Amino acid sequence: MKQLFLFFVMALELFGIVIKSPIVGINEKATEVTIKVENIDVGVSGFIVHEIDKEHNIILKNAVVTSYDKNTQTAKVAMSEFNVLSNNALPNGKWKVQVGDMAILAFGYTRGLLIAPTEEIYHRITKNSKLQWVHPDLFATTLSFNGHPTPLRSDFEEMSTKSSVGLVFIYLDGRVFTLDAKSFKILTVTDAKLEQKEVNLPFYTRVPEIDSSWWKWFGEGNRKLKEYEPHYYELMIKANPQDRALYDIVKNSDEKLHKLLGKFDIKE
């Protein structure tokens, strides 16, 4: 068990490095760029940054790695609108992404949020890591504000933006799934066989009750979560429909999860 957690802690430390690489190519529709990088995982997110002058930079786009070629050491990076810091009172520049702009990836990977079914499991996983853990109470507060007793993918994205959380960790069936907080792509899966006697729904938190908005009662996420594992597996499947390793895990798990197999985009 100690060896398993030592491996897990070492893996966490590898996520603390921000990756910076200049853009070497842009596709015709200006929706994807190419960068040179020694190694990177698909799903790692970040930003495209343009240097205005030596003292001023501006974020132009959100960025997510969509593919990596280890032979050429190049990665394709999809871009999307960056509007987190938008302000109608401020002037808007007309800068466009161009070769030479900088892709800054794995931003916020020194801060993580762990979703765990019990307090004991939460503390067993977090106590030996140098990662800056954002307590799930803060996430529960975000859920109450949004009226979501059942966490949605959008809630994780909001938490990532507001608290600069780069990584989400979810404990399921003796494994810790490490995900990019924005893309929700699975970066690693680590064995962590811990005894689980109970389940706190929707996850371990000291917040006694997560409010539901009465005027949104029929909306997504507004009913209390009834089962822990199926919900979080489903969230991951939606973001990783072609992940063969995740498919095999679900297929070999409890029979109650087998209904989720149809949500994968994988041919047997």
Q: What angle do CA 223, 167, 159 make, to 5 degrees?
A: 45
Specify the CATH number for the domain of residue 28: 2.40.10
Specify the CATH number for the domain of residue 257: 3.40.50
Dump pLDDT digits (tens) for 45-99: 999 999 988 888 999 999 999 999 999 999 999 999 987 755 555 556 678 999 9
- pLDDT at res. 178: 94
Cα–Cα distance between 12 and 192 in angstroms, integer? 14
> Do 136 and 221 belong to one domain?
yes
> Do 101 and 196 belong to one domain?
no
> Do 134 and 249 belong to one domain?
yes
Q: Position of tokens 């390793």?
A: 245
> Do 86 and 142 belong to one domain?
no
Q: Is residue 268 part of a domain?
A: no
- pLDDT at res. 6: 44
pTM for this one?
A: 0.90
> Do 96 and 193 belong to one domain?
no
| Domain enclosing residue 43, as ranges | 19-105
Tell which residue, 137, 89, 123, has the closest CA to residue 192.
Answer: 123
Q: Sheet containing 186-191: which strands, arranged edge to edge?
A: 132-133, 111-115, 167-172, 175-180, 186-191
> Do 152 and 213 belong to one domain?
yes
Q: What is the average pLDDT value for the chain, to the nearest integer? A: 89
> Do 238 and 116 belong to one domain?
yes
> Do 140 and 187 belong to one domain?
yes
- pLDDT at res. 56: 86
Which residues are CB-contacts of 151 (< 8 A; sequence separation ≥ 6)? Answer: 115, 139, 143, 202, 203, 221, 225, 231, 235
Domain count, the chain: 2
Dump pLDDT digits (tens) for 201-258: 999 999 999 988 665 556 678 888 999 999 999 999 999 999 999 999 999 999 999 9
Please give the torsion angle defined by the CA atoms of residues 179, 244, 66 and 186, in that order, rounded to the nearest 10 degrees: 0
